[in-house]
């Protein structure tokens, strides 16, 4: 992991933070003995880290409690009685691990949107996710937040269905004995992608909540 590199990205280890966590989102859900793996597209842009360092943040590589993405994810998990808190309290015993398909942090000057050169940079995703999955002995379910995360798992499993087909059907695919689920990204704008254009925001939210209830039942 320390040696991964790609143009347009920066490895978290290059900051020499001495962090114990591989993924910034582990401070929200960091249970490697959990049964659930949550895979997002990426953590945050590389510029996020020096900004926190300049602000004298003692632990810059951590989840941001104010992000709508994290707030909505916590709400979805709590609705199924998962012991999670937006503060990160209890994150090591919450039954879930939250990671990113892109271990490398985008360093292209953008905060969100499509990752730079993801067609080629995504080759690192299989290495990262294989590393994670091999170290989760109780893993049963993998939740992919959005199409890039889903495609990374689908490629590993040689599954040919698309994210849209899979999320519409509501059925996971199997990868090495684990069920892999297609989900909407929990970001504010991406939630509207759950249903066809013209659907109400409320219907999208209700459908996403139903998706998670079905997965976590």
**What are the tens digits of pLDDT across the range 151-198?**
999 999 999 999 999 999 999 999 999 999 999 999 988 899 999 999
Q: Indicate the pTM of the whole model.
A: 0.96
Could you tell me which of 212, 217, 207 has the C-alpha nearest to residue 168?
Answer: 207
**Dist. CA 191–CA 112, nearest whole Å:** 15
* pLDDT number for residue 2: 87
* Percent of the chain residues past pLDDT 70, beyond the cut: 100
Residue 26: partners with Cβ closer than 8 Å, 6 or more residues away = 91, 97, 98, 99
The H or E element containing residue 39 is: strand 36-42
Structural domains of the chain, with CATH = 9-216 (3.40.470.10)
pLDDT in tens, 127-146: 999 999 999 999 999 999 99
pLDDT computed for residue 136 by the predictor: 98
Split at pLDDT 50, 70, 90, the class of 19 is confident
Does residue 42 have a pLDDT over 90? yes
**Mean pLDDT, rounded, for 59-80:** 96
The CA-atom distances, in angstroms, between 148 and each of 198, 207, 213 are 23, 20, 23
């Amino acid at each position: 992991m320390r040696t991964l590199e790609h143009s347009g990205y920066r490895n978290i280890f290059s900051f020499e933070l001495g962090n114990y966590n591989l993924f910034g989102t582990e401070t929200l859900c960091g249970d490697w003995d959990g049964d659930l793996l949550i895979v997002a597209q990426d953590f945050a842009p590389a510029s996020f880290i020096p900004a926190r360092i300049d602000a004298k943040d003692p632990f810059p590589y951590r989840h941001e409690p104010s992000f709508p993405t994290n707030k909505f994810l916590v709400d979805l998990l709590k609705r199924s009685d998962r012991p999670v808190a937006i503060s990160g309290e209890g994150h090591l015993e919450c039954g879930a691990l939250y990671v990113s398909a892109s271990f490398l942090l985008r360093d292209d000057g953008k905060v969100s949107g499509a990752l730079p050169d993801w067609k080629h940079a995504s080759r690192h995703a299989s290495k990262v996710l294989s590393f994670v999955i091999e170290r989760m002995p109780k893993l049963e379910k993998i939740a992919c937040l959005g199409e890039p995360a889903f495609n990374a798992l689908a490629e590993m499993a040689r599954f040919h269905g698309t994210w849209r087909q899979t999320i519409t059907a509501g059925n996971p695919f199997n990868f090495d004995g684990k069920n892999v689920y297609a989900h909407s990204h929990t970001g504010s704008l991406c939630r509207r992608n759950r249903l066809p254009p013209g659907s109400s925001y409320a219907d999208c939210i209700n459908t996403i909540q139903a998706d998670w209830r079905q997965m976590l039942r």
